[in-house]
Amino acid sequence: MAQAEPGAARVGVEEEACVRVVFFDDMRGSTALKERIAERSDEEAFHALRREHDELVSQVVSRGGAGQVIKSTGDGVIALFDRPSLAVERALEIQELLQNHPHLRVRIGIDMGEIKLASVDGRAVDVFGRHVDWAARATALANDGHICVTRPVYTDAFSWITKQKIAWKAHGLYRTKRGEPPLELFEPYNANVIRPSRRLRGDKIDGDAAKRAAARAPARPSSRASAEEAAGVAVVRPWEMVARDGREFARDGGGAMYWFRVPLGGVSYPEGFRSFLQPALENDRITKIRFVLDATVPPIRRVWDDLVIPLVTNWAENRGRPLRIDERDGSGLIVLDDTSGRTLSWIFVDLSREFTPCFKVLVPDLDSEQETQSEAQIFLSTAARTVRLSDGTEQVIRVPDAVLRIRRGQHDALLHALNAVANQWDSRFLC
């Protein structure tokens, strides 16, 4: 009888490549726990405990559509999330709910990246890929009652989760399997509930050994690597990498920042927009923040009034900074700092005949003596996402899915062209 070749497609199973946050949960010492409970009662008592675990984890993961449990591993579950911050928040919630449980202790590992998702009749049934493996490795290194996440998860979640809710401990590089790169691991924890692990279960790579191991290991894919290979220009995608690059753009840049026809929250993603703008507000090297907004798109003006202005005023109130706001028909100015003269301003203009794509550009501020270099992000595409808004409703929104990143000191002609597009509206801004 002929046998199917290894890797042959299973009947009725569809596979797709996608970017997800991979969440592993494991009941530590389940075999020993089963033996102890069976001695005192019977084996069914252990299975009742396992079902209690599965139900609790499934409820927390799937509440509000945050995540999806894909399958049981026998003594744990594999789940997927769209957002690293939500995966970390739900992991913390699970650990807090089990903190005082007399029997259950779990360890959780999280990684993110491109995976292969298998579905039957539209229902996800399995998941494959090295990011699944790395999430499993992170779980194996975590201690009972604790969480380990890889650097990509930490980088995104750290920027999005309110700092009062969570503390972090960097554990450094740990060996995994022979031939695999070491994992750089971080532990999120609620300092009011638990202390972080002193060290993880595996073999930590210290000092110079860490540098040698990282140099020998295959590089994990990153937007920065591709940017360097492209000599200053890179296509950054998917949206997790776009979000990270956007935060770096605002946090590390300087000069005058122009946002030209950039989609806003509600049309784009409210939390994502906050994540992009707030680092620019915090960065004193950015002296001017200027928005050129499309007056022909009705939701933009509503979102500007309902989201952006409150975002800026709340930011200032939390830092005890008084603001001066001057609003007129179709334009406005907020003085962020009277001493330095930092401002945020905006204009609404008809961009219906403008063919230039959405972009953000940083250019030297001619009114400032600081030396800065130009750089830009050009938005290439967006992707549809379903999100739950603060009022409890769900809405399909667009998030930036790919940007062309022009780094400092590269492609001056392109940067000059973008600057010219933005500067043509300078006379309309309030001063």
Comparing CA positions, the residue from 421, 284, 280, 275 lying closest to residue 339 is 284
Region 315-344: mean pLDDT is 89
**CA-to-CA distance for 148 and 95, rounded, in angstroms?**
12
Residue 5 or residue 165, greater confidence? 165
Phi then psi for residue 408, to 5 deg, are: -60, 140
Q: How confident is the model at residue 330 (pLDDT cuts 50, 70, 90)?
A: confident
pLDDT in tens, 49-105: 888 999 999 999 999 999 999 999 888 899 999 999 999 999 999 999 998 888 888
Indicate whether 227 pLDDT > 60: no
pLDDT at 271: 54
Which CATH code fits 13-216? Answer: 3.30.70.1230
Residue 242, token pair as written in the block: 């776009």
Q: pLDDT (tens digit, 9 = 90+) per residue, 93-131?
A: 999 999 888 888 899 999 999 999 999 988 889 999 999
Number of H helices, E strands in the chain: 12, 17
Run of H or E including 273 = helix 270-282
Which has the minimum average pLDDT: 11-25, 255-269, 388-402, 413-427?
388-402
Q: Contacts by 65-73 with C-beta closer than 8 Å and gap 24+? A: 65/386, 65/388, 65/394, 66/90, 67/21, 67/23, 68/124, 70/124, 70/125, 70/126, 70/127, 71/125, 71/126, 71/127, 73/24, 73/26
The pLDDT-based confidence of 163 (bands split at 50, 70, 90) is low
For CATH 3.30.870, the residue range(s) in the chain are 223-428
Least confident of 36-40, 159-163, 281-285, 308-312: 36-40
Q: What is the mean pLDDT of the chain?
A: 81
Nearest alpha carbon to residue 327 among 341, 302, 309: 309
Q: With bands split at pLDDT 50, 70 and 90, how would you rate the model's confidence at 383?
A: low
pLDDT for position 224: 41
Tell me the per-residue pLDDT of 343-353, one tens digit each, with 9 for 90 and over.
999 999 998 88
pLDDT of residue 18 exceeding 70: yes
pLDDT tens digit string along 353-365?
888 888 999 998 8
Q: What is the mean pLDDT of residues 149-164?
A: 80
Q: Given a cut of 50, is residue 5 above it in pLDDT?
A: no
Least confident of 129-143, 226-240, 272-286, 303-317: 226-240
pLDDT digits (tens, 9 = 90+) for 169-214: 999 999 888 777 899 999 999 887 888 998 898 888 865 555 555 4
How far is 289 from 19, CA to CA, in rounded Å?
32
What are the backbone dihedrals phi and psi of residue 364, each rounded to the nearest 5 degrees, phi first?
-60, 135
Q: What percent of the chain is modeled with pLDDT above 90?
A: 32
Q: 223-428 domain in CATH 3.30.870?
A: yes
Domain with CATH 3.30.70.1230 in the chain: 13-216
Chain mean position to CA 158: 8
Which residue did the predictor score with more confidence, 32 or 179?
A: 179
CA distances from 333 to 345, 367, 428, 430 (A): 4, 17, 11, 6
Contact 188, 157 (CB under 8 A): yes
Confidence at residue 143, expressed as pLDDT on a 0 to 100 scale: 92
Kindly state the average pLDDT of the residues 328-339.
89
